[in-house]
Structure 1
Amino acid sequence: MRVLIVDDEPLARARLAALLGECDGVEIAGSLDDGEAALASLDTLQPDLLLLDINMPGIDGVTLARRLAGRSRPQVIFCTAYEAHALKAFELGAVDYLLKPVRLERLRDALQRAQRRLADTPLESAAWLHGRLRGEQVRIALDEVLCLLAEEKYVVVQHRRGELLIEESLRQLEDAYPDQLIRLHRNCLVPPARLLGLKTLADGRVLARLDGTELNPEISRRNLPAVRKLLRLG
């Protein structure tokens, strides 16, 4: 089981790494100090489990766990000095909630629980984007997305059934899903499978033709070679 440690305190990361060294069947996938770095590294590191702190600068542990909700991997075990977020953690599907200083036997028990859950879930799971619709938290499968457009401080997800506002930046989404999203412009990402072709205007601008929508986002000159290559490769 590949475990990624995410904690902004170096001593806490070192202690968890030492404890994991005493546990059978565990490989440390990495050790990171913030949630944004963890989100961007998931596809590269491929962890089965996160040992996740809650109070961190930037993307905190609860926010990161919310963005991972719906995935079979990675599972989440919170490791924190505070009891206050336990209910929220289990609402988000966390395997366990360990209070610092984490004890070895308690960690082993949580790891065994995570291993059983992983064994009962498929290796691959659909990626989900989480946002707000009329003030309520909702989610949309990434394979239903038509395109992602940056507008002021939000990203608008255009999907088969309408629109959804999410708080992640396009850069965060691009880093999190490098094989599932391609950049057309500084304000637009699309799933590669949506690209049908190109449309060149009289003024030289190039627009994308997308499956499932009449929207034709512009492709910047910087990103056009990558888009053409993708279309050539099918």
Structure 2
Amino acid sequence: MRVLIVDDEPLARARLATLLGECEDVEIVGSVGDGEAALTALSDSRPDVLLLDINMPGLDGKALAARLANRTRPQIVFCTAYEAHAVHAFELGAADYLLKPVRVERLQDALRRVQQRLEAHLREPSGWLHARVRGEPVRMALDDVICLLAEEKYVVAHRSGDQLLLDDSLRQLEETYPDQLIRLHRNCLVPAHRLIGLKTLADGRVLARLAGTDFSPEVSRRNLPALRKLLRMG
């Protein structure tokens, strides 16, 4: 299991790293001090779970969890010194809520709960797309898609490591999966769970930050307000 630690206190991050060393099948893929740094790390490290503090400067733990709500990866396990946020944490879909100082037994329980959620999701894909490989029909899980691009007469589904031609148009896909797919511009759809943020360039163009890839497609001005609203609402 790939774990990203997010806490503004270096000692707290070090303690969690030590505890994770006592857990089986765990890889620490990063350790950062605030929510913005976590968003940046998501596309590079592709964690299965965030061990997330709540009270942090800038983008705090609850705001970050709201952005990532309803996504399979990463799962959220809050690690905080305060009990008061527990109800809200579970409303945001957190897998667990650990009070500091975190005990290794509770951390192991939380990671098992995360693993159960991930395995359950693997059994139930959010949808299937119909593609072709060397002319033969195949199907691919929507959860595996990084983005869908219209190129000349075809729609190309980009996954990690390969690309497949689809039978349907972007409009047909958008109508079939209105809750799972969001439009960046007229030639590009992305799964909603991939969108983790936006980046504004010096020339005013806005790029989408997508989980699991360095590819950052451009966002049209027409679709930008809806995407910003989606990120604010989580």
8 A contact 2:209–2:216 mirrored in 1: no
Per-residue CA deviations over 1:40-86 (Å, capped at 9, x if unaligned) read 22111000000000001111000100000121000000000111110
Q: How does 1:54-203 map to 2 (within 5 A)?
A: 54-122=54-122, 124=143, 143-147=181-185, 170-171=199-200, 174=207, 176-177=209-210, 178-179=214-215, 181-182=217-218, 188=221
Per-residue CA deviations over 1:134-185 (Å, capped at 9, x if unaligned) read xxxxxx85732244xxxxxxxxxxx9xxxxxxxx65449847325252267x
Task: Give the letter for the 1:176 counterpart.
Answer: R
After superposition, the Cα gap between the structure-2 partners of 1:81 and 1:189, relative to the gap in structure 1 and judged at 3 Å, is farther
Task: Give the letter for the 1:31 counterpart.
Answer: S
CA separation in 1, counterparts of 2:70 and 2:216?
A: 17
After superposition, the Cα gap between the structure-2 partners of 1:171 and 1:189, relative to the gap in structure 1 and judged at 3 Å, is farther
How far the C-alpha of 1:93 sits from its partner, in A, is 0.6
Q: Scaled by the length of structure 1, what TM-score is found?
A: 0.60
Task: Give the letter for the 1:50 counterpart.
Answer: L
Identity of paired residues, percent? Answer: 57
Indicate the RMSD between aligned Cα atoms, in angstroms.
3.0
8 A contact 1:71–1:126 mirrored in 2: no
8 A contact 1:72–1:125 mirrored in 2: no
After superposition, the Cα gap between the structure-2 partners of 1:175 and 1:19, relative to the gap in structure 1 and judged at 3 Å, is farther
- 1:47 counterpart residue number: 47
How far the C-alpha of 1:118 sits from its partner, in A, is 0.9
How many residue pairs were aligned?
Answer: 158
Greater RCO structure (CA 8 Å; 6+ sep): 2
CA separation in 2, counterparts of 1:82 and 1:175?
A: 34
CA separation in 2, counterparts of 1:110 and 1:10?
A: 22
Q: Which runs of 5+ in 2 are unaligned?
A: 126-142, 147-177, 190-196, 225-234
Q: Scaled by the length of structure 2, what TM-score is found?
A: 0.60
CA separation in 2, counterparts of 1:146 and 1:33?
A: 30
CA separation in 2, counterparts of 1:81 and 1:36?
A: 21
Larger gyration radius, structure 1 or structure 2: 1
